[in-house]
């Protein structure tokens, strides 16, 4: 299924998009989402992983 619209908000496990043409809003769960395409540059807050956390991820088995 394809949804087109504007990203209203996003959380850790979901995004909400709205379709300006219809006025509908869609709640999309990340567990069911394969990919997202954007027609323009996005403003995405990138959060760095601390060196200690990165080290624990690399040494975990």
Q: For the chain, give every domain's residue range.
A: 1-36
Q: Which position has the higher pLDDT, 56 or 29?
A: 29
Residues recorded for the chain? 61
Q: What is the pLDDT of residues 13-45, one digit of tens each?
A: 999 999 999 999 999 999 988 888 888 888 777
Local structure of 58: helix, strand or coil: helix
Q: What confidence score (pLDDT) does residue 13 get? A: 92
Distance CA 31, CA 14 (A): 8
Comparing CA positions, the residue from 7, 28, 30 lying closest to residue 19 is 7
The neighbouring-strand residues paired with 27 are: 16
Q: What is the pLDDT of residues 46-55, one digit of tens each?
A: 778 788 888 8
Distance CA 17, CA 26 (A): 5
- The pTM for the full model equals 0.62
Phi, psi (degrees; rounded to nearest 5) at 27: -100, 115
């Amino acid at each position: 299924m394809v949804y087109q619209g504007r990203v209203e908000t996003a959380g850790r496990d979901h995004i909400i998009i709205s379709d300006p043409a219809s006025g509908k809003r869609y709640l999309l769960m990340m567990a069911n989402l394969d990919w997202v395409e954007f027609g323009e540059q996005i403003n995405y807050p990138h959060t760095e992983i601390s060196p200690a956390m990165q080290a624990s991820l690399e040494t975990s088995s």
